[in-house]
Amino acid sequence: MSDVFLLPDPGEGLTEADIVSWKVAAGDAVTVNQILVEVETAKSLVELPSPHAGTIGALLVEEGDTVAVGTPIVRFGPVGGEDTAPSAAGASEADAAEAAEAPPAEAPDESSGATLVGYGAVASSSKRRPRKAPADGGAAPAAPATAAPPPDDSSAAGQAPPRAEAAHDGRPLAKPPVRKLAKDHGVDLATVTPTGEHGQVTRADLLAHLDSDAAAAGARAGAPASADAQAAGGEREERIPVKGVKKAMANAMVASAFTSPHVTIGVDVDVTGMMDLVRRLKAERALGDDVRVSPLLIIAMAVARAARRHPYMNARMDGDEVVLRHYVNLGIAAATERGLIVPNVKDADGMGLAELCRGIGELVEVARSGKTPPAAQSGGTITLTNVGVFGVDWGTPIINPGESAIVAAGRVQRRPWVVDDAVVPREVMTLTASADHRVVDGEAISRFLRDIADVLEDPVRLVF
C-alpha cells in the first residue's frame, strides 16, 4: 500500500490547475516541504511542497494536463510493486474513486490535502488498494514518471536531474517534454527510432520522425513538403489550449463585455508638464535612489485621486444597488508570458509618490514572475492599463469584473499644439476611459477624465 498526494484546493473559488513542470521523478527520495511540482491556476503559478518525507513511487499525471482539485497526482512508495499506478490517462478517475472510498483517518496523517498556499500535512489520509490484474493476465500499465528540467535557480536544491522512467509495460523510454510533443502531434513513440542512451527516444529523434512523415506526405501528394510545413511537423495550423491565467482572463472579459454596457470616451492631453516633472524627479532622485520614476507613476496617482473625487467611477453594481467604495484599490494591468493579470495597489489614493511607485514596482515584478498571490488580484476598484508602452495611441479597454471603470493611457509623442494662438511642439498623449453605463452616464465619465487630464497638464495639482 502507498500514500497518494491529491491536488490541493487552491481556494478563491478555483477548481482546477494545470501541471506546469515536475521537480521530481519516480524513485527520487524527497524531504518534507521539498517542492514536488509547479502548477498554474487561473490566478498564478504555485509550487506544491511534499507533505512528508519518502520516495516517489510514480507521477500520476503529466506536464500539460489540467487536473481537478482532489485528483491524485503523486504516489509515494516503492517504484513498481503490487500497487503500480495506472497510466496518466486513466490515473485520475481510478485514484480519485479509490481516494473517495478510503475511510477518514482518526488522527493527523502525512497525506496531502492542504490548500495550494499551505504546507505540511492535514488530518486526512487516502490509501490505495492493490490493483487487480487485467483479465488477460497482463500487468497493469505503469504510470509515466515525468520530470522537467528546472527553469531557473528557484528549483529546490539537491533535486535529481530529469530522466526518463524505465518502462515496465513495453512503452518506449522518453522524457516528459518529448512525450508531450509526441502527444501534441499524435505520434506513437513506438514508431520512432530511438538513438538516446538505453534506447531512449530523444527530441531530435521525434523531430526527425516528424520531418520524415511530412516529406512522405508531400511525396504522396505529388509535391515536396515545404520547409514551413516540415518545421511545424507537417501541419499548417497549430492549436494551443487556452488554460490557466489566459482562460480566466478570457472568461472574465466575456462576462464583463456581455454584462456591463460599456461606454468609452477619450481626450488628447498636453502632458509636457507631466514629462518635465518625471525628468526632474529622475535627475534629482527626489524620491530616493531605489524608486524608479516613470510617466505611469504620475498617471496612476492622478487616476487614484480622481477616483476618490468621483466615487461613482470607483463603484460597483450589486443587483439593483450601486455600491460606493470610499477607498481606491488601483489595478495595474500587467501583460505576462502566461497572460494578462490585474493585481492592485491597496488604498492607492492615500499614498505619496514614493510609496505608490514602490507598490506598483513590486506588483509588476511579481506579476512577471507569474507568482502573484490571489489576494493581490482581488478587491480592485478601478483599473489603469498602459497601452502606450506598446507604441499604441489609444484603446477601448474592457472593464475588469467587479469594477465600473478602466482607464487606458496611450503613448506620449511630440505633436504640434496650439498655445496662446501659436503652434508649438508639445508632448501629447491620449487618455480613454471605459465605464459601466448602468452606474455612470457620459457626463460623469467626461468630468472624471477631464479631472485626470488637468492633473497631467499641471502636476502641481497633485499636492491639492
Enzyme catalytic residues:
437
Rounded to whole angstroms, the Cα distance separating 127 from 4 reads 7
Rounded to whole angstroms, the Cα distance separating 23 from 461 reads 53
| 8 Å CB contact between 170 and 54 | no
- DSSP characters for 363-396? HHHHHHHT---HHHHSS--EEEEEGGGGT-----
| 8 Å CB contact between 311 and 317 | no
The helix/strand count (H/E) of the chain reads as 10, 21
CA-to-CA dists, residue 54 to 79, 137, 298, 313, 448, angstroms: 12, 31, 53, 55, 60
The angle that helices 295-309 and 272-284 make with each other, rounded to 10 degrees, is: 120
Kindly give, in sequence order, each residue whose CB lies less than 8 Å from that of residue 340, ignoring residues fewer than 6 positions away.
245, 246, 249, 333, 334
Rounded to whole angstroms, the Cα distance separating 303 from 20 reads 37
- Among left, alpha and beta (phi > 0; psi -120 to 50; other), residue 324 is beta
What amino acid is encoded at 98 in this protein?
Answer: E
CA-to-CA dists, residue 93 to 97, 105, 141, angstroms: 6, 22, 15
Residue of 423, 392, 422, 424 whose CA lies nearest to 409: 392
CA-to-CA dists, residue 375 to 72, 344, 371, 372, 403, angstroms: 27, 9, 11, 8, 16
| 8 Å CB contact between 363 and 345 | yes
Rounded to whole angstroms, the Cα distance separating 407 from 432 reads 6
| Sign of the alpha-carbon dihedral angle for 320, 325, 329, 333 | positive
Rounded to a whole number of angstroms, the CA Rg of the chain reads 28
| 8 Å CB contact between 431 and 266 | yes
Rounded to whole angstroms, the Cα distance separating 144 from 60 reads 7
| 8 Å CB contact between 181 and 208 | no
